[in-house]
């Protein structure tokens, strides 16, 4: 009986801690939500573009696709300028 009571108390403890953690992190996330900015300080938006091959190594054999293209695109909303940098 004591073992069953201990297991029940332990389960209740973990449930209470889980609920408290979710409420705390949910509250702090919602509270700071309006302060975060998507754009960095210079005002440009940067996007990483990654392409991959189809992963065919031999006829009838497939492998995981490997990244074969890396590009960084930037957009400046002030000047409406778009830049593209290809990384070999």
Partners of residue 76 on adjacent β-strands:
81
The pTM of this model reads 0.44
pLDDT number for residue 82: 92
Q: Which residue has the tokens 């953690």?
A: 21
Q: What is the mean pLDDT of each run of 10 residues along the chain (88 residues)?
A: 85 89 76 60 84 72 74 90 90
pLDDT number for residue 3: 84
Domain extent listing, the chain: 1-36, 37-88
The separation between CA 26 and the C-alpha centre of its own chain, rounded to angstroms, equals 17
């Amino acid at each position: 009986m004591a073992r069953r009571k201990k297991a029940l108390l332990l389960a209740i403890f973990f449930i209470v801690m889980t609920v408290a953690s979710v409420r705390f992190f949910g509250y702090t996330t919602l509270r700071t939500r309006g302060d975060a900015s998507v754009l960095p300080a210079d005002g440009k938006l940067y996007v990483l573009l990654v392409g991959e091959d189809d992963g065919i190594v031999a006829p009838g054999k497939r492998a995981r696709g490997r990244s074969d293209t890396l590009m960084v695109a930037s957009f400046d909303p002030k000047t409406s300028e778009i830049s593209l940098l290809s990384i070999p």
